Amino acid sequence: MKAYLTIIIVFFSLSTFSQETKCECYSKSGVKEKTGIGGWTSIIGTNSEGEQLQYHFYAAYFPPQELCIPRDNFWWQDVNAAILKAIKSHPIYKSSQIALATDDPDATPKATNIAGQAFITQEKVYEIERLPGTIVSVDAYIQEHFASKLSLCGDINNKIDFNSPKEKNEEKALNNQGSYDTPVSKNNQSKNAQDFIGSQNEQFAKQQALNQQLANDLTQTFNQISNSWAEERDFQSKISSLTNIKSVNASSIVNEARSKAQQINNEYATRKQDALNQGVSATQNLVNSAQNEEQAIAGGILGAGLTALSQSNLEKERKKAQEKLENEKQQILNKLSQKIIDKFEPIKIQHKQAAIYALKKENEDYHLAQYEYAKCMTENAFKIVVDDYSCEKPQNSKPATKTKKPISGQDYFNAYKRKQKNSFELVRDKAPYFLELAIDAEPNKAEWLYEKTLVQGLDIYERASILKRVVAIDKSGQYKNDFDDVLKTIAELKLKEQQIINITLSKHKDYNWTEHDNLMRVYIDYQYEFAKPRHIVINKNGTKVLDFGNKYDFNNDNFRESEISKQYNNGRLRFRQSLNGTNLYGFLNTKGEIQTTPTYLNATHFSEGLSAVQDYTNQKWGFIDEFGKIVIDFKYAEAKAFSQGLAFVKKIKREKEGKYINPVTRQEVKVYVTEAVYINNKEDIIIEGSFDTGESFKNGYARVTRYTRNDSFMGGGNDKTYYIDKEGNEASEEESNLVDAFNSNNGYSTIKDGNYYAIVDSNGKITSKLKFHNKPIFNEGIAVVSTSTAWRAVFGTYTKYGYIDYTGKTIAKIKYTKAQPFENGKALVELNDEVFYIDKNGSRIIEDKDSNTEIEELSNIESVEDLEKILKEKYDEVTQSGNGFRIKKDERYGFINNDGKTTIPVDYKTLGLFYNGLAVFNDKSNGTFKKYGYINENGEIIVSEKYQECGNFSEGIAVVAKVSVLGRKVGYIDTNGNKITPLKYYTGTPFENGKAQVNDGNYFKPNIYYIDKEGNKISN
């Protein structure tokens, strides 16, 4: 914390002064009444204790009566120098240099802060006197240097009657205006001016004598204070010697630290009293030496301030020493505790692994006991060092002896059953491993096989396969019902599988079956925990012809690509497998067999009989044929699939220095200086240009991009993307629009037209009646589009949405406040606060039954788990909250309790999770400053919609805010909606451990502190 001492030394008037015939007349009642002669400067620095000190000096003279004085730049430079000289000879300045003890030029007063042309205003003086730090008003003794020059304006002073009204004086000055710029060369100057100068000199001499006496007293006082500071430095040295600890064992370290802390406090108490006595004495000396009441007041303030500063410094030194001593103690104790951790951590890991794989119970118990002991030692190492804490040692010191008896399947199965019930999670999780060992030893044990079907996370198809084997082995028939139940579930899954197939076919009516070998890979996600997602392959009739289960992955995370590239192409389907943590790519044939072993870091789909692949060893790209034969060697930095006889590649010119880590694969790759070109299948370069990247050719054109080369630190410029033909010529804008349209599946395309988007056909004609703010993204042949007027642009909530087909024809008018993409032939929209579905004709779909109707199955539930399963089948989203579940249907929220009762209907736009029995909700409020309230689990509104921001309740209190164009005000309420604090803060955090952090300042000038639950300010 900065310590500031404010000192005002009584200011004695500066004498007036002059130089040439350019004169300025001042009047107590004139417009220049508050303008005077003077200047100011500051010294800011840090003393030896690290404390920042500030000293501000100023000199100012305001004419006591109407007076004309010189006005010239050269003369003002002398005024400037005189003020600096007065400051540097002042005792406060000398003491500040001692306190700062620095040669830093920034801690030295400079002329640069002296007022230009020596003007100073009364307002400036007030401003200086309000600055933090030590304020000093100095007498610059200007008159002794410039009194003789004042006579140059004497003729003007002579013509002004100091006792006459203001109007007459102004008239006299106006009548003599010409004399302002006329050199005065008369030897006989005005007698009145000379008398005035003589009077000023006489007053100055008296005042100078008084000031010199005060300066001597101040110097003596500061010498006393300097001696006090020397004693403080001796105090610092003593307590610093008490911050080192020499003991080596824990108890001695603690005792030594306690003893030295007491010694520091004793030294502090002694020095504090001495400093107080010295300060009182110095203050009394200053007061006694004062020549008048003003000097006595200034002396008292100066002495009291310096005494307070001394006391503050002592307290800071004591705290600093105590903190250093405590840190020293903690560091030593931490080192001792770390030695314990280093010893027992390996032991803990060793016995943990041994317990997990122990076959015999006695060995498992032994290793678990040793593990728990080592764990206790590592977790309580500091307490063991400091508090004489001890961990209980295990009674058994040795594991059971090994036997030569062979291990049977029953031994493994017994271990499985035992570990299954173990309270230690790591041991319990390893139980299935021993079940597998038991089955491997005796594979025809129906009981053990059945036990495997109960293992959590087993896929339904795997379970069915095992149960089929169990039923075949066991003749009692006790497992047949389980097998039948699984078969029923699989039958239901097959129905859902067919539904997914049908939906997929309806979404991809434009799928090119011929191009993809009359096959389509479909991802089946049953959305059940017991049924893992699968990859299957169907023919154009929707019949499943291949089932890969979840054996392979068909995505490619290394670069963006279309869904088409994840299908069969040229009789090959690219797949991915993780080997030793690295994703490698290979290819399957149409029979589902591996045609090309996964050995490549990356690969494109097959096109024109070739696939671009990246070599695992040198990380370069080349091309292979359908049988895996290398056709073009691995020599390119990048390569893309062939199309219309050409493929984009980056030819390597040289290797760059340095390393690069691929952010996706996390593997180190080489970086090259490259040239972007298009080649044919004979490796001939067909197109080379000034582009940096390119796409595949389609209908005779390829889109390429040249990156901006602007190296300015401000950036700037845009990447240039354009089309080229197969000879490398750039297409015109009109040709580019036609290419976009012609390359689309339906002969239409989206183009950017100024700041808007529109739809064009293959002739380049705009077919959409409206232009849109968003780029239309088509789903099931229909896209959501939006428009907004200038008024709507200001208030974002007034943006309206509608739907168009791929030709630009309006399917549903642009009138909805919310709109989602079409899915399964319908889209969810909002109009006039009502949410409903529309079909592809834009007509409203009438639901068969209300979404809030009670679900009959809920009345027969046997557990909360069963309730959750049923809800997940009925609603779009189900989240456990409070004593029930928050549910979501068609973008609306509600709540069903654990008894299956709907207590909050699915009508709310917003419904948060329950905390302390209350959840944030929004029902009717709209607009930019939408309001929220709180509702309980019974559907009762506790706090109406009146806050723009509502936080979750914590410890029975929630932070809320009201927001408007004028800003935001934050406060706190209780669970009844009563205000704990007014809405007055800029920000606030939730309550934790009885306190919350608030800011009652703003973003630029924060004032952050903690409050308690009654809104009182507390320390953190």
Which of 812, 847, 882 marks a domain boundary?
Answer: 847
Both 783 and 663 in one domain: the answer is no
Q: In the prediction, which pLDDT does 809 show? A: 86
Note whether 686 and 741 are same-domain residues: no
CA distance 817 to 873: 29
The Cα diameter of the chain in Å comes to 145
823 and 674 belong to one structural domain: no
User: Residue with structure tokens 């001597």?
Assistant: 216
User: How far is CA 924 from each of CA 905, 907, 944, rounded to the nearest angstrom?
Assistant: 14, 10, 11
Same domain, 229 and 358: yes
Instruction: Return d(Cα 668, Cα 582) in angstroms, integer.
Output: 13
Burial 286-317 (b: 16+ CB within 10 A, else e): bbebbeeeebbebbebbbbbbbebbeebbeeb
- Tokens read off for 958: 């929630």
Query: Do 714 and 772 sit in the same domain of this protein?
Result: no
Q: What string of DSSP letters covers 603-625?
A: EPPPBTTBEEEE-TTT--EEEE-
pLDDT value at residue 5: 34
Q: Dihedral of the CA atoms 680, 686, 688, 694 (nearest 10)?
A: -40
Looking at 847, 864, 884, which one is the last position of a domain?
Answer: 847
CB 1005: neighbour CB atoms within 10 A? 8
Tell me whether residue 18 is in a domain. no
User: Is 222 part of a structural domain of the chain?
Assistant: yes
In this structure, which amino acid lies at residue 861? I
Looking at 810, 828, 847, which one is the last position of a domain? 847
Cα dihedral value 173, 175, 177, 178, nearest 10: -150
Q: Outline where DSSP puts E strands in 338-480.
A: none
Helix axes 191-240, 293-357, angle to 10 degrees: 30
Please tell me whether residues 371 and 337 are part of one structural domain. yes
Distances in whole angstroms, Cα of residue 796 to Cα of each of 787, 929, 974: 11, 11, 33
The pLDDT value recorded for residue 145 is: 46
- 839 in the same domain as 743: yes
The SS3 assignment for 878 reads strand
Would strands 134-137 and 52-61 be described as parallel, antiparallel, or unpaired? parallel
Q: Are the beta carbons of 981 and 1012 closer than 8 angstroms? A: no
Same domain for 575 and 688, yes or no, is yes
Do 243 and 381 reside in the same domain of the chain? yes
Angle, CA of 234, 236 and 237, to the nearest 5°: 65
Residues 612 and 709 in one domain: yes
Q: Over the Cα atoms of the chain, what is R_g?
A: 45
**Cα–Cα dist 323/260, whole Å:** 12
Question: Does 576 share its domain with 690?
Answer: yes
Instruction: Look at residue 235 in the predicted model and tell me its pLDDT.
Output: 73
Helix, strand, coil shares of the chain as percentages rounded to 5? 35, 25, 35
Residue 384 inside a domain? The answer is yes
pLDDT computed for residue 645 by the predictor: 95
* Spatial separation of the C-alpha atoms in residues 353 and 374, rounded to whole Å: 13
Tally the domains of the chain: 3
Nearest-CA neighbor of 236 among 1, 48, 5?
Answer: 48
Along the chain (1020 residues), what's the average pLDDT of each consecutive run of 10 residues? 34 33 50 61 68 74 57 58 74 68 51 47 73 73 47 48 40 37 40 53 57 55 55 74 79 81 83 76 70 63 69 80 83 86 90 87 87 90 81 78 80 89 85 89 91 82 90 89 90 89 84 91 84 90 91 64 74 89 90 94 93 92 95 94 94 80 65 92 92 89 81 51 90 72 67 78 76 81 76 53 87 86 85 83 69 52 80 88 90 88 89 94 78 93 91 94 84 93 91 90 83 87
Dist. CA 693–CA 691, nearest whole Å: 6
The long-range contacts involving 727-732, CB below 8 angstroms and separated by at least 24 positions, are 727/687, 728/678, 728/686, 728/687, 728/688, 728/689, 731/701
For residues 812 and 845, give the distance between their C-alpha atoms in angstroms, rounded to a whole number: 13
> Which residue type occupies 247?
S
Q: Which residues contact 648 (CB under 8 A, 6 or more apart)?
A: 638, 639, 640, 676, 677, 678, 693, 694, 695, 696, 702
Q: Say how many C-beta atoms besides its own lie within 10 A of residue 252's C-beta.
A: 12
Q: Burial, 567: exposed, middle or buried (Cβ in 10 Å; 0-12, 13-18, 19+)? A: buried
Q: Are 364 and 430 in contact (CB under 8 A)?
A: no
Residue 699: how many CA atoms within 13 Å on its side-chain side? 15
Cβ atoms of 303 and 282 within 8 Å: the answer is yes
Residue length of the chain: 1020
CA distance 825 to 839: 6
Print the domain residue range for 603.
570-722
Looking at the structure, tell me whether residues 252 and 389 fall in a common domain: yes
Residues 6+ apart with CB under 8 A from 999: 985, 986, 987, 988, 1006, 1007, 1008
Whether 179 maps to a domain, the answer reads no
Is 585 in contact with 574 (CB distance < 8 Å)? yes
Pair of tokens at residue 430: 């390893």
* Mode of pairing for the β-strands spanning 800-805 and 810-816: antiparallel
- Output the CA torsion sign for 814, 818, 820, 822: negative
Domain-embedded: residue 374: yes
Is 61 within 8 Å of 17 (Cβ atoms)?
A: no
Rounded Cα distance between 963 and 932, Å, is: 12
Q: And the tokens for 804?
A: 């168009």
Residue 793 CB contacts under 8 Å (≥ 6 apart), including other chains: none
Q: Does the residue 239 lie in any domain?
A: yes
- The DSSP code for 788 is -
Closest to 855 in 3D by CA, of 910, 913, 896, 908: 896
254 assigned to some structural domain: yes
End-to-end CA separation in angstroms for the chain: 17
| Residues 57, 108 contacting (CB under 8 angstroms) | no
107 belongs to a structural domain: no
Q: Is the dihedral of CA 324, 329, 333, 335 positive or negative?
A: positive
In the sheet with 611-614, reading across from the earlier edge strand, the strands are 602-603, 611-614, 621-624, 630-639, 647-655, 672-679, 685-688
**Residue 593: both structure tokens together:** 């067999």
Strands (E) in 460-525, as ranges, are 520-524
Instruction: Give the per-residue pLDDT at 54.
Output: 75
Burial class (CB in 10 A: 0-12, 13-18, 19+), 210: middle
Strand segments, DSSP code E, in 937-995 are 941-947, 949-950, 957-964, 967-974, 979-985, 987-988
